[in-house]
Amino acid sequence: DVQLVESGGGSVQVGGSLTLSCVASGYTYISYCMAWFRQAPGKEREGVAHLDSDGTTNYADSVKGRFTISEDNAKNTLDLQMDSLKPEDSALYYCAAEPILVCALVAGVGGFGFWGQGTQVTVS
């Protein structure tokens, strides 16, 4: 099975930046959709950004232009660069993976089979 371990969360001031990293191991398929989700207290888990196996990216409207998802295949990491952070970005951020070519074919949160434990981001 795929194991995902996030890191990089923390507390930051409004307008600041953070980079989250997700180390992946245990791949058994060639292609994966990789994604970042977040969940604030009392709210549903929501997609932030995802990365298709061909490198295509997609972002939630709320983070477009501020967040960047990328991967380092040599290190097996999925990163999320977060700039111009706002208080509403505060949440527990999760890395997720699903062995599929195109993320658009994944049926939302429930469609991802592999999850990390989450890393907390607090913006104030």
Residue pLDDT, tens place only, 55-70 = 999 999 999 999 999 9
N- to C-terminal Cα separation, the chain: 37
Instruction: Using the Cα atoms of residue 96, residue 99, residue 103 and residue 107 in order, give the sign of their dihedral.
Output: negative
Q: 100 or 35, which is more confident? A: 35
- State percent of the chain over pLDDT 70: 99
Beta strands 91-98 and 33-39 are antiparallel
